[in-house]
Chain A
Amino acid sequence: MNLVEIKNLGKIYHTINSEIIALKDISFDIEKNKFIAIVGPSGCGKSTILKILCGLEDKSYGKINKEKNLKFGFMFQQDTLFEWLTIMDNCLLGAKINKCLNNDTINHCINLLKAYGLYEFKDNYPNELSGGMRQRVALIRTLILNPDVLLLDEPFSALDYQNRLKISNDVYEILKKENKTTVMVTHDVSEAVSMADTIIVLSNRPAEIVNIYKIDYDKESPIKNRLKKEFNEYCNKIWGDLNVI
């Protein structure tokens, strides 16, 4: 079942001196409970797709058909936690904004914090947590409102390599457990192959779809997936598409 169908999506930016075509005729579907990764060179316009999807930016042309009342949750590259709020209050930010802060949301939040090893830090402030923990808090904050589709914009790129592997693993487990449909933007091909069911490869500006891969092999966790033969094959193919090799 498709939650979202994107057809010929385009985005043009206007500056004083010129017009910049960021996205050109992008079409793909977002299937329920699937994990889509969008990879492409830095600055090609990958994040713009996510921003258009959740209404942070307007599209220039094209069509986006989505199910009625579909809710998006956005997770950013930086954790963007509010330093003056406790971990608990940070997690409940979306609920507060949408005026749906009640016992149910608080319990939901407590359960998520407990499940992902952050409960004992609920009254701490963000600066007392490590980068990886902060990123998990940011994910819980996004999950509190029960979004139907999660949009992850380079969620791990602010972390060092070791943390990146571990947190991507954790986040993947959380998303699978919560049965979430996810669209993740990343410039890291290996990260995409280790996590996604579908990978959309974009070209340089203006970004067009170069290839769409259905990643089809016996998947375990993202870290373990990296050890499989197919993992390298997919990576090589995509690097080929991106002219890296």
Chain B
Amino acid sequence: MSSEHVLFLKKRKKEKILVLLFQILIFIVFILIWQVLSNTNRINTFLTSSPKLIYKTIINLINNNLFNHILVTTYETIISFILSLLIGIIIASILWWNKFISKVIDPYLTILNSLPKVALGPILIIWIGANTKSIIVMALLISSIISIITIYNGFNSTDDNKIKLMKSFNASKWQIYTMLVLRGNINTIINSLKINISMCLIGVIMGELLVSKEGIGYLIMYGSQVFNLNLVMTGIFLLSILSYILYFIISQIKKN
């Protein structure tokens, strides 16, 4: 290895550490300012809570089913994530396979995509009941449409010349689908996972806000109903951590 290369690697490492340091620094400064402002009564902790109060709430919650709430939200998110991925791949495949169906369904997909799905909440509660199923269906409604559209667009942008090449080898449509369209779009599918996981989390929280008796969404809703802003802020804090962990796992999958 030449000395220039060593220098180059060093510079890159230094930059990486610097970025990480600043990321941590921003977090610490934010927490400190928040705490100092509440200590000096510059802000009303009844409305804004404070890091210390959030910490206390978490400690308190640990004895009161905190992990159960986190587990419920995670479980609902993962189930809807897997289901919406499957729905996305299956429906995108059907649309790719049959152009007629795709043309017929196109306006409906557009309508479903632009419709604010939360508006369907009350209907879901009446149809399915105020339970976990409703929450998962709500998350599916939000995430599946985007996942279908992203994967279908990927399938459709498969290089036409490669399809012709396979046809020149007398490939069947199934062979074109499995060996080229599906295989060539693994990256599109993995990229769609990133959008999907956040959409599922949004859907699950929306569902929990509407119907649930447990989960992080429930904590937030319950907190706001009893004017316990500490609980609301704690919920939001836990949610941020959960969404980051889920996103991080997907990024690792993508890397590998």
Contacts and interface: CB of A to CB of B under 8 A. Distances in A.
Pair from one complex = yes
Interface of A: 51, 54-56, 72-74, 76-78, 80, 82, 84, 93-94, 96-98, 145
B184 A82 contact: yes
Tell me the dominant secondary structure on chain B's binding face.
Answer: helix
Given A97-B175, A97-B179, A82 B170 contact: no
B169 A97 contact: yes
A51 B161 CA distance: 12
Contacts of A97: 166, 169-171, 175, 179
A77 B166 CA distance: 15
A145 B169 CA distance: 9
A51 B164 CA distance: 9
B162 interface: yes
A74 B170 contact: no
Contacts of A84: 183-184, 186
Interface of B: 159, 161-162, 164-171, 175, 179-180, 183-184, 186
Contacts of B168: 54, 56, 72-74
Contacts of B186: 84
A74 B162 CA distance: 12
Contacts of A54: 168
Given A93-B169, A96-B179, A97-B170, 8 more contacts: A72-B168, A76-B164, A76-B165, A78-B161, A82-B183, A84-B183, A84-B184, A94-B169
Contacts, number: 42
Nearest to A54: B168
Nearest to B187: A84
A94 B167 CA distance: 10
The 8 residue pairs across chains A and B that have the minimum distance between CB atoms = A74-B168, A94-B169, A97-B169, A97-B171, A80-B165, A80-B161, A80-B162, A76-B161
B169 A80 contact: no
Contacts of A93: 166, 169, 179
Nearest to B180: A82
Given A56-B168, A98-B170, A145-B169, A80 B159 contact: yes
A43 B25 CA distance: 61
A72 B170 CA distance: 10
A55 B170 CA distance: 9
Nearest to A144: B169
Nearest to A84: B183
Nearest to A138: B165
A97 B176 CA distance: 9
Contacts of B183: 82, 84
A121 B162 CA distance: 22
A141 B13 CA distance: 43
B143 to A, nearest CB: 27
Contacts of B167: 55-56
B164 A56 contact: yes
Nearest to A93: B169
B169 A82 contact: no
Contacts of A56: 164, 167-168
A75 to B, nearest CB: 9
A54 B168 CA distance: 7
Contacts of B162: 80, 82
Nearest to A95: B169
B9 to A, nearest CB: 23
A93 B183 CA distance: 14
A93 B165 CA distance: 10
A46 to B, nearest CB: 16
